[in-house]
Structure 1
Amino acid sequence: MARRTLLIGTTVAASAALFVFTPGAASAAPHQPSVTVLTNDVSAPFQLDYRGGLYVADGGTGAVSKLDGGALSPVAHAPDGFETSGVAVGPDGGIAYTTANEDHSSTSLTIERNGRTTIADLSRFEAKKNPDQHVTYGVDHPSRCVKRAFAPLGGATMKGAVDSHPYAVDSLGHGDWAVADAGGNDVVRVDGGTGKVSLIAVLPRQPLKVTAQQAADLGLTKCVVGVTYNFEAVPTDVELGPDGLLYVTTLPGGPEGPVLGARGSVYTVNPSTGRVHRLATGFLGATNLTVDSHGKVYVAELFAGQISTISHGVAKPYVALRNALAVQMGGGKLYASTIAPTDEMGNPTGEPGSIVRIGS
């Protein structure tokens, strides 16, 4: 039950190690729309955005590209030694993308508009403010036995550490941007003109009551059974909905995959007040989402191998998509991406990632 999720790897090799066991859909979708592959020329397409065309941030290559027909046209590229996982295009045509180096000591949001480049230093903001520094993760009031059990995993309790890994971005309009920082467990606002970074909200702890089976699977002693462990939120995507709220996916820290169950959630965040509300939970690897013009939410579930929707606070399968990584509505069409899979040792299988169109 490590504090930090492995998904937030800094290279495709580190990230892909998490995807070795990605199955097909966990449950059959009641309706199976068609899936059309648009390109296989991607490795780890963590985020898509649509504005007059489909944009993709590929964490495997560090490239930000636009899909023209079946070909990817380069738009920007992360510096050597850096990855990019988030991209968004604003209503004024400005483009923003995230960058992070291997140890997350240098992370930023780069904004390019009308020939001008503004760089917001997200790692500096995290080091200076560390918004979740007063949040206690792990077990509240652990017993001696619980402390011993979790000691090899970093301890039974810990405060929010300084860690920045910007994972997704979206335009707030008026030149501002919202960034989901998976390392910082928060969503921040970036002024596109000045690069100033400010906090919108820290995402809440993700509690899990440990079962006997989970304890056994993780090799933990019996005294942890029934204990509530509060994981970090690890926000992986942010999108501005038609209602003016931000929609955020979380991939709780710790062992990912099925071992601890479907723990992913979708939250709404008021960008003006910072108020956070959980919209739905029960996602198996909620890595990305999109909201259509009617407010319908689609969620990419990596470990379930599917795109799901939210209906009355409940996750419902929509379409099976092995290795589903990102999803985006644009131009009246639904797009998604998949990550190139690896074997049990984390080695590439030779199968590429993809960008697909769902439905006609």
Structure 2
Amino acid sequence: MVGTGTASAGGGYGGSGGGKGPTTLAEGLIGPLHLDVQRGHKGADVLVSQSFAGTISKVRSGGSVTDLVTEPGGFTGGVAGGPFGTLLYLSNGEQGAFLKLRLPGGQTVDLADLGTYEATKNPDQVNTYGLQGASPECLAQLPPDVPGLAPYKGDVNPNPYELAVTPWGAYVADAGGNTILFVEWSGKIRTVSVLPPRPEVVTAEAAAGAGLPECAVGLTFNFEPVPTDVEFGPGGLYVSSLPGGPEDASLGARGGVFKVDPRNGRATLIGTGFLGATNLAVAPNGTVYVAELFGGKISKLVKGGPRTVLEVTEPAGLEWSNGRLYATTDVNTSGKVITFRP
């Protein structure tokens, strides 16, 4: 039920990180895909986006849940506390895709029209996705009822998913546009980085599973990078990637982590092997933690790959605060907010 929550000791979790088990801060949430932690003199409050309900809520340190924003029929994305008692959140629905600002008095204003920006700029049109290097004869054999197999340029597809707030504005990870954007407080938008495609060599097994012709074996297939989070960390921005295509393990664990230089937009893939990298958190020492939605665990990036920290059910949102990780779990059933020391 929206707007209700309980505080209780966590149970039924397994971990290999050596830390204490998690504590459940709230449960009964509807699609809690995103969260942010606000620390105060009385402890930590958690802002949570109940995305499937179109609701932004606050989970107080005592466990109570208060709804702050409700957009019936909408989908709320990332949420973050802003300056002077404001909060920012992403919204994507029939009215368009926006970065919105909630004022301390409860009024909500549209800070930036991200959907119009994507429609007019389409930054990732510089990328080519799909099967690369195939002859016309081979392309003619591709299944006609499966879209996205033949080469195509990045198209218009706004899906602002996560954000990170700075004193000068907010970075936004657009999962549909495959971009990292920056929105100034004036509402001006600019493209910081267009993430590169995620290439995979087509194996005989993959071709058979996807119904691709034999001529595709050995060629490269460029998947869309699909950024799902952006966070600050040592030396730049850190971005989780949930590559397009099958979201299960049929093609392996293909989720990754990029490091982006905000000065020139250069994106470097620094980690792979995550199964559903839907969010990440960066500790002050530079350790990167990743929520693996389809892997059922929270991992940390070690030598370019994942190392399990905690096994959980359907983790989605992830944040670091004051030596603890905060996560949303069970996002397709009775969603929870948990916290633990890794």
TM-score band by shorter chain is 0.7 to 0.9
Query: Are residue 252 (structure 1) and residue 252 (structure 2) matched?
Result: no
1:321 aligns with 2:308: no
1:10 paired residue number: none
**AA aligned opposite 1:228:** T
Q: 1:113 to 1:273 in 2, by over 3 A?
A: farther
One-letter code of the match for 1:75? L
The one-letter amino acid of 2:296's match is: G
CA distance in 1, matches of 2:335, 2:140: 42
Which of 184, 189, 200 in structure 2 is aligned with 1:191? 184
Mapped partners of 2:181, 2:16: distance in 1: 35
Deviation digits for residues 245-288 of structure 1 (CA, Å, limit 9, x no counterpart): 11111100111110111111111112222121112111110000
Whether the 8 Å contact between 2:316 and 2:331 is mirrored in structure 1 is: no
Summarize the alignment of residues 124-203 of structure 1 with structure 2, pairs less than 5 Å apart.
Answer: 124-143=116-135, 144-154=137-147, 155-174=149-168, 176-192=169-185, 194-203=186-195
Show CA shifts across 1:272-322 (max 9, x none): 221211121111100000111222111000111000001232221111011
Aligned residue for 1:56?
Answer: 48
Q: How many Å separate the matches in 1 of 2:69 and 2:292? A: 28
Unaligned runs of at least 5 residues, structure 1: 1-23, 342-350
Query: For residue 296 of structure 1, what is the aligned residue in structure 2?
Result: 287
Task: For residue 255 of structure 1, give the secondary structure of its aligned residue in structure 2.
Answer: coil
- The structure in which a higher percent of residues are strand is 2
How far does residue 168 in structure 1 lie from its aligned partner after superposition? 0.5
- Maintained 8 Å contact 1:172/1:240: no
RMSD: 2.2
Give the deviation of 1:67 after TM superposition. Answer: 0.7
Equivalent in 230, 240, 265 of residue 238 of structure 1: 230
SS at the partner of 1:322?
Answer: coil
Q: Hey, what's the Cα distance between the residues in 2 that align with 1:247 and 1:133?
A: 23
Match of 1:261 in 2: 252
Highest RCO, 1 vs 2 (Cα 8 Å, sep ≥ 6): 1
- The structural deviation recorded for 1:142 is 1.4
Task: Give the aligned partner of residue 76 of structure 1.
Answer: 69
How many correspondences in the alignment? 321
Alignment-derived partner of residue 42 in structure 2: none
State the Cα deviation string for residues 178-215 of structure 1 (Å, max 9, x = none). Answer: 010011000100112x2111100001100011112222
Structure 2 partner of 1:278: 269
Report the counterpart of residue 215 of structure 2 in structure 1.
Answer: 223
CA–CA distance in 1 between the matches of 2:86 and 2:203? 48
Structure 2's unaligned 5+ residue stretches are: 1-11, 40-44
For 2:20 and 2:316, the matched residues in 1 are separated by 18
Is 1:88–2:80 an aligned residue pair?
yes
- Partner Cα distance (1:162, 1:183) in 2: 8
Residue 44 of structure 1 contacts residue 338 of structure 1 at CA under 8 Å; is this kept in 2? Answer: no
